Amino acid sequence: MTKEKTITRAWLNAQLPTAERVKLLQAEMTLDEKLQQLGAVWVYEILDADQRLKRAKADDRIGNGIGQITRPAGASTLTPTEVAQLCNDIQTYLVQETRLGIPAMMHDECCAGVLARGATVFPQIIGTASTWDPALVEEMTGVIRMQMRALGIHHGLAPVLDIARDPRWGRIEETFGEDTYLAATMGVAYIRGLQGKDWAQGVVATAKHFVGYGLPEGGLNWAPAHIMPRELREVYLLPFEAAVREAHVGTIMNGYHELDGVPCGASKWLMTDVLRGEWGFGGMVVSDYFAIDQLMHYHNLAQDKAEAARLTLEAGMDLEL
């Protein structure tokens, strides 16, 4: 294990209360180590040409730890057995070779089954919605949960809870459609099946894209959404509220777009006032891929990446995927 100084790792003592273990860990962490826990790296960034963990790359990219590893299955061409071995190798490195020994969350896509070689391919969500059968959805995501856990992946980037009423938008098939109640009911079932009743065997679900992403101007992906406050509350926020209050979803993901002139990822009203304050959400908020960069390159709200990160952190963003 790489050591800057001798530490006892008292936070690993399972006999201590969780709150005390967290306090001990936070007191030991450097600023760099805290920042690393806010981010993620794509799995291929730390692999060699044979898609095995490369020590030199790992030392460079995750030597101070890392919050998440992006798509160990979906961003590789490995077989399920190879994915499981790779996840084990990465976790072993993080636990044994980094100073603090914090394992990473492994996440992958799972809208219609986990995005992995050999995994079960289920119908697109729009087709699943047409069954009007929440119990079937929960059974489906229970299978997805077992397959993801077998791979060593415990964070799934689904379900999509966007209400989609403009057929020009190119992500209709990822949604439960145009009906708010159906989307909320199916979304709750999806989350319950994926997260399970026991976190030791569960996969953290991600309700996305918060919020109004499915009604972009002109049907163009990433375009601004023009939604009146009452419609936003009654139609577009409702499935997310159900996900938080009824299904206790573990993660919320912001959309790329802007709402009422404010990019969702930098909206304190959305991320703090509504999500944390009104609904009491205590889970993790994650950025959609590249959404923080887009505050600089697309929305022209930030001058550089550091300012973009500051804006998202000030709004309640916990992690950049």
| Residues with catalytic roles | 288
Determine the Cα–Cα distance for residues 108 and 315; give it in Å rounded to an integer. 25
Question: Tokens 């790992």 identify what position?
Answer: 58
Q: By the 8 A CB rule, do 256 and 294 touch?
A: yes
Determine the Cα–Cα distance for residues 106 and 121; give it in Å rounded to an integer. 20
Determine the Cα–Cα distance for residues 146 and 135; give it in Å rounded to an integer. 17
Q: Which helix (H) or strand (E) holds 149?
A: helix 134-151
CB burial readout 167-200, b (16+ within 10 A) else e: eebebbebbbbbbbebbbbbbbbbbbbbbbeeee
What are the tokens at 307?
């300012």
Sheet with 284-287: strands ordered across:
206-210, 251-254, 284-287, 319-320
Q: Is 24 exposed, middle or buried (0-12, 13-18, 19+ CB in 10 A)?
A: middle
What are the tokens at 42?
């794509």
From the DSSP assignment, how many helices (H) and strands (E) are in the chain?
Answer: 12, 10
Determine the Cα–Cα distance for residues 87 and 93; give it in Å rounded to an integer. 10
Q: CA nearest 159: which of 242, 97, 232?
A: 242
